[in-house]
Amino acid sequence: MKSVLSVFASLALLAVFSVSASAAEDVLKGEVKTLEGKKVDLSEYKGKVLLIVNVASKCGKTPQYEPLQALYEQYGEQGFAVLGFPCNQFGKQEPGTASEIREFCTEKYDVTFPMFEKIEVNGDGTSPLYTKLKSYDSDPGDVKWNFEKFLIGKDGEVVARFRTRVEPDDKKVIQAIETELKKEN
């Protein structure tokens, strides 16, 4: 009887770990569109370290574009990317069209990291990507404001979440990025 219970306990534990692993891998499943409307399969980013950020052009935190771009330039050749997702859900601070957003980011901040179409990060229209990101075990829940940052490891798992007030060049963010970059695929 003990061995039967032991087998059931082991199977239950295995099922829990399998669900967790599947959920993590799902972060990089699905398609998104660039600001120019080109479809991108998120699986193209598998094996990279990513900082996924909901951005806005008319926010008090908009100057975070500058350190985000600096991180992209500093670590890009090491397998790191910043992915920007404009969102108009917080104070209507991203009202522009895709071309207006591109023009603003390029002219004001020389943004060269990938930028995607405007999305919703909360509510009924939440993008599938953000539904997955917000289920991060250590810090689940809705996005509170613009420029929240999710760090994704090479294995496709969310490894950290940094709220709006944490600047992209904060020591905690840089240390987390460098730690993930050192890990094997």
Q: Which residues are catalytic?
A: 59
Element (H, E) at 151: strand 149-152
Residue 11 DSSP SS3: helix
* Pair 152, 50: CB distance under 8 Å: yes
Residues 123, 89: contact at Cβ < 8 Å? yes
Q: What's the sign of the alpha-carbon dihedral 131, 105, 167, 80?
A: positive
Retrieve residue 97's tokens: 């069209």
Quote the DSSP letter at residue 115: B
SS3 56: coil
